[in-house]
Amino acid sequence: MDRIARYTVLSLLLVASCRGREPSYAERVAADIPQIEKAVGVPFKRPPKLEVTSRDQVRAFVTAQLRDTAAQRDLAGKEAAYKAFGLIPDTMKVQRLFTDLLTEQIAGYYDPKTKVLYVVKGAPDDVAGITIMHELVHALQDQYINLDSLLSAKGDDDRQTAAQAVIEGEATYEQLSAMLGGSANLAARMPGAWDRARDVIRDSRSQPIFGAAPKVIQEELLFPYINGAEFVRRFKEHEPGKLPFNDMPLSTEQVMHDRSYFATPRDVPIRITLPKVPGAIYENTLGEFDTRLFLFQHLEDAGTASRAAIGWGGDRYAVVRTSSGNGVAWVTAWDSAMDAAEFVDALGQAIERRYRVKAPTNSAGGVRTYSGAGRTVVVTPREIDGKNVVLFVDVPTGTSTQRVDLSRVTLRG
């Protein structure tokens, strides 16, 4: 999904539209290029080609992206995972939602394959102007780095989301910088300006399809813009004069927390490899950000969800198919025994609220088994190679919970 979401443009309406005659799109591009070059600190090697497109053509573009074989496979797996974790309704069709959502959201985009900046004809002038500035940053990025290669972490959504946060975060930050008169001016005005930016990005929920989308999809689409721009702001404070693309964050944890990225040594995510999982149809990672979303979805308590996810060290899950429906097996690694214990407690609360079940049956080794609502959920804390891990298995009642042999799980990093 993250590979597709990078085409979304969530316009940041941070300034009033220009007074008087609105310039043409070509005039806007010509006027914005020097500002973007000044903000980013590198020149365009060549001006990007500009084309005006229609809303119907945008829908055709989105549809073509979603019909790509790899994209369809990823979407199907992601949909199954969303449903297994209880993040979207069982009846929802994610591909249809994304087609409608991205068509609604996109006011323009830069396509690295064609090297063309597309602007939607008829977009409101203020939206079009800010979109052009944002997408010009992407066009400039593409002349110095391979955007697609930065987003090529197959089977690792957490790392891919972190990379996307740098790409979109820089575009958002430098767009703001150019609009506010340069990075120095931005640094002085950022506290108030960024509060406004954050609020306005979230105001985009007023658009009907986005506003009706499940919270996980809204938040995953917003993360690269909000958290990504905040990361780039902090990167510029810690590493003045440098660009973040030569030293990319490896996880959403590193994007969100200074202690994880800027400290020495860094908090490098643990790469978890699962053994062959019976019935597995899809594997991926959640990361700290999506772990927090999962807990919040079922607890409806942002503070508890954040505290329980903050000790995240790494994870890997597999969606499993059984004769009675899908389930999920999820291994998480934690920074300390206390972090693991806090996660287990919050996870237990989430299970009880989600399935409306009573307290679990406890057995040796701290294993907790929850039964009810046609589900069996087993939470198993363990230590592997000195690391605290938690195995979460959620399957239809009557099917095997023996999905992951923890003795064969490997940790690296």
DSSP three-state, residue 387: strand
| Residue 115 near residue 130 (C-beta atoms within 8 A) | no
Confidence of residue 16 (pLDDT cuts 50, 70, 90): very low
- Within this chain, do residues 166 and 280 fall inside the same structural domain, yes or no? no
Cβ contacts of residue 329 below 8 Å, gap of 6+?
Answer: 274, 277, 280, 317, 318, 320, 391, 392, 393, 403, 404
Task: Give the separation between CA 341 and CA 248, rounded to whole angstroms.
Answer: 30
Query: What's residue 124's pLDDT?
Result: 83
- 122 Cα distance to chain centroid: 29
Residue 266 counted as domain residue: no
Residue 347 counted as domain residue: yes
Say if strands 312-322 and 49-53 run parallel, antiparallel, or are unpaired: unpaired
Task: Give the separation between CA 6 and CA 10, rounded to whole angstroms.
Answer: 10
Strands of the 116-120 sheet, one edge to the other: 49-53, 116-120, 108-111
Task: Give the separation between CA 190 and CA 118, rounded to whole angstroms.
Answer: 29
- Within this chain, do residues 239 and 297 fall inside the same structural domain, yes or no? no
Confidence of residue 192 (pLDDT cuts 50, 70, 90): low
- Within this chain, do residues 165 and 51 fall inside the same structural domain, yes or no? yes
Query: What's residue 405's pLDDT?
Result: 97
Residue 400 counted as domain residue: yes
Residue 302 counted as domain residue: yes
- Within this chain, do residues 201 and 233 fall inside the same structural domain, yes or no? yes
- Within this chain, do residues 255 and 336 fall inside the same structural domain, yes or no? no
224-272 residue pLDDT tens:
999 999 999 899 999 988 888 889 999 999 999 999 999 999 999 999 9
On the question of pLDDT at 116 being above 80, the answer is yes
CATH number for 323: 3.40.1000
Query: What's residue 330's pLDDT?
Result: 98
Element holding 261 (H helix, E strand): helix 258-261
Residue 384 counted as domain residue: yes
- Within this chain, do residues 216 and 341 fall inside the same structural domain, yes or no? no
Give the DSSP per-residue string, 44-76: -SSPPEEEEE-HHHHHHHHHHHHHSHHHHHHHH
Task: Give the separation between CA 389 and CA 411, rounded to whole angstroms.
Answer: 10
Lowest average pLDDT, out of 70-74, 146-150, 361-365, goes to: 146-150
- Chain mean pLDDT for the chain: 88
Between residues 194 and 94, which one has the greater pLDDT? 94
- Burial of residue 94 (number of CB atoms within 10 Å: 0-12, 13-18, 19+): buried
- Within this chain, do residues 403 and 292 fall inside the same structural domain, yes or no? yes
- Within this chain, do residues 276 and 253 fall inside the same structural domain, yes or no? no
On the question of pLDDT at 12 being above 70, the answer is no
Q: Which of 231, 261, 291 is the last residue of a domain?
A: 261
Q: What is the largest CA-CA distance in the chain?
A: 74
For 162, 225, 232, 259, the CA distances from 245, given in Å and listed in that order, are 11, 16, 10, 19
- Within this chain, do residues 247 and 309 fall inside the same structural domain, yes or no? no
Q: Which of 235, 261, 287 is the last residue of a domain?
A: 261
On the question of pLDDT at 318 being above 70, the answer is yes
Residue 216 counted as domain residue: yes
Say if strands 375-384 and 361-363 run parallel, antiparallel, or are unpaired: unpaired
Query: What's residue 14's pLDDT?
Result: 34
Q: Which of 233, 261, 289 is the last residue of a domain?
A: 261
What's at 158, amino acid-wise? D
- Within this chain, do residues 71 and 115 fall inside the same structural domain, yes or no? yes
Residue 134 counted as domain residue: yes
Which pair of structure tokens corresponds to residue 79? Answer: 């949909």
Lowest average pLDDT, out of 5-19, 235-249, 271-285, goes to: 5-19
Q: How many domains does the chain have?
A: 2
On the question of pLDDT at 13 being above 60, the answer is no
Give the DSSP per-residue string, 114-179: TTEEEEETT--HHHHHHHHHHHHHHHHHHTTS-HHHHT--TT-HHHHHHHHHHHHHHHHHHHHHHH
- Within this chain, do residues 257 and 301 fall inside the same structural domain, yes or no? no
User: Whole-model pTM?
Assistant: 0.90
Look up the domain containing 407 and give its range.
271-412
DSSP three-state, residue 215: helix
- Within this chain, do residues 132 and 172 fall inside the same structural domain, yes or no? yes
Residue 303 counted as domain residue: yes
